[in-house]
Amino acid sequence: MRIFLDNAATTPLDPAVLAAMTEVMAKHYGNPSSIHAEGRQARALIEKARKTVANTLNCSIGEIFFTSGGTEANNMALKNSVRDLGVTRIISSPLEHHCVLHSLDSIRAAGVARIEMVGTDAKGNIDLADLEQRLAASQEKTLVSLMHANNEIGNLLPLEKVSALCTAAGAYFHCDTVQTMGFLPIDLNATQVSFLSGSAHKFYGPKGVGFIYVNNNNQIKPYLDGGAQERNMRGGTENIYGIVGLATALERAAAEREQRAATIAELKAYFMRRLTEQYPDIRFNGDPENGMFKVLSVSLPASAKGELLLMNLDMAGISASGGSACSSGIDVGSHVIGHLYPGSPRHTIRFSFSHHNTKSELDAVVEKLGGML
């Protein structure tokens, strides 16, 4: 049996989600844009799913649009804010996901908006004082784009505080919640956010489907041109079974959120304790005590075996990663770790946990790790 500790990269499909998707595939083949019975049935499934997402986030159903995933949602928020809302300055962080950083590179290259990077402390937490100063330094129309939880080190953004700073400054606020959606409560009625993105496969749903929340105050145009799908916001026939899978997974994640969180947090604390006892030279990156409970970035002393650590873990039946899983398997080094610890010779592994993991699995990882260092 393999031990899967790469749940920040993706999660196994929940059996109940698979069952819901399979039923849609088998019985509901109509095109949601068709006006006949089969089309109306398909449309009803999509709108039911939209209502599920909206209820989970405490927002209007008209503010939820389904996408192909978090990458499309993030691109949509960043590029549409410049194109349609007149944003000329974006404040972000050097520790963001690559889909955000590469989108910012594209915007910068086009010369349509200035890009600023907010400061971070030694642990990778956003410097809120620096953000406040930057917001106050210019009256130009600004978008702040910061992720809720870092996908590599797990640091959490104080969502309410950032929202308050942006609201006070009259700035738009985009938050990538891919790593926290379904794991942490988010109330969009209580917390002002302009754009928010989520991806189903991070909370035990299918790959290839996600959503974007667009606050009703933001009038943007379609990112993908085509038909009138998604209320004229995203052309292309909807991924009905994927959307149903997303909603089913999110509904289950919300219902079991506290139980899952307690289980995963206990596993993380246990693993940190066992690693520290066994390997005194080990270091934990970021701010693990205050960060997202499902992510743990571990730094190990440089050694000849270290370069092969991930491969040796894989051969031993243990799945982990060196950081983000968005480089098509190519180890190009972590931009997050490189920013926080420039020039460090230590080797980094990201372990990320699920409520399906067990302490006995973690004990096995600690034991097998010894022969690889």
Residues labelled as active-site residues: 326
Cα torsion 316, 320, 322, 325: sign: positive
| Residues written for the chain | 373
Count of CB atoms within 10 A of residue 151's CB?
A: 26
Count of CB atoms within 10 A of residue 373's CB?
A: 15
Nearest residue to 253 (alpha-carbon basis) of 111, 355, 133: 355
Q: Which residues pair with 188 in a beta bridge?
A: none
* Segment holding 185, helix H or strand E: none
| Calpha distance 370→326 (Å, rounded) | 28
Is the CB of residue 324 less than 8 Å from the CB of residue 151?
yes
The terminus-to-terminus CA distance of the chain in angstroms comes to 23
